[in-house]
Structure 1
Amino acid sequence: MVEVSRTVPAPPEAVFEVLADGWSYSGWVVGSCHIRDVDASWPQPGARIHHSVGGWPVQLEDTTVVLAVEPGVSLELEARGGALGTARIELSLAPDGEGQTVVRMAERVTSGAGGLVPESVLALVLGPRNRESLARLAALALGRWRGTGESQP
Structure 2
Amino acid sequence: MAIRHQVIEQSPEAVWAVLLNPALYSEWVVGTTDSRPLDDQWPQVDAALEYSVPIGPLSYEGRTTVRRYEPHRWLELEAHSGRLGTARIAIEVRPWGGHTLVIVDEHPLRGLGGKLHTAPLDLLIQLRHRTMLPRLAQTVERTTHQAPSADAHASPEARPPGMRS
TM-score w.r.t. structure 1 length? Answer: 0.89
Partner of 1:141: 140
Identity of aligned residues (%): 37
Considering Cα pairs closer than 8 Å and 6+ residues apart, tell me whether 1 or 2 has the greater RCO.
1
Over alpha carbons, which structure has the higher Rg?
A: 2
Letter in 1 for 2:25: Y
**Who is 1:78 aligned against?**
78
- The match for 1:108 is 107
Deviations 1:75-131 (A, max 9, x none): 010000001110011000001112x00000000101122224343111221001012
Partner of 1:68: 68
Number of equivalenced pairs: 150
SS in 2 for 1:62: strand
1:120-151 Cα distance to aligned partner (Å, 9 max, x none): 11122100101211111111111222333389
Once residues 101 and 150 of structure 1 are traced to their aligned partners in structure 2, the CA distance between those partners, rounded to angstroms, is 22
CA distance in 1, matches of 2:133, 2:150: 22
**Are the counterparts in 2 of residues 23 and 38 from structure 1 also a CA contact under 8 Å?**
no
CA contact (8 A) 1:36 1:52 kept: no
Provide closer, same or farther for how the CA distance between residues 118 and 141 of structure 1 changes in structure 2, counting only shifts above 3 A.
same
Secondary structure of residue in 2 paired with 1:90: strand
SS at match of 1:130: helix
Between the aligned partners of 1:82 and 1:16, the Cα distance in structure 2 is 28
Computed over aligned residues only, the root mean square deviation of the Cα atoms, in angstroms, reads 1.8
1:72 is paired with a residue whose SS is: coil
TM-score, normalised to structure 2's length?
Answer: 0.83
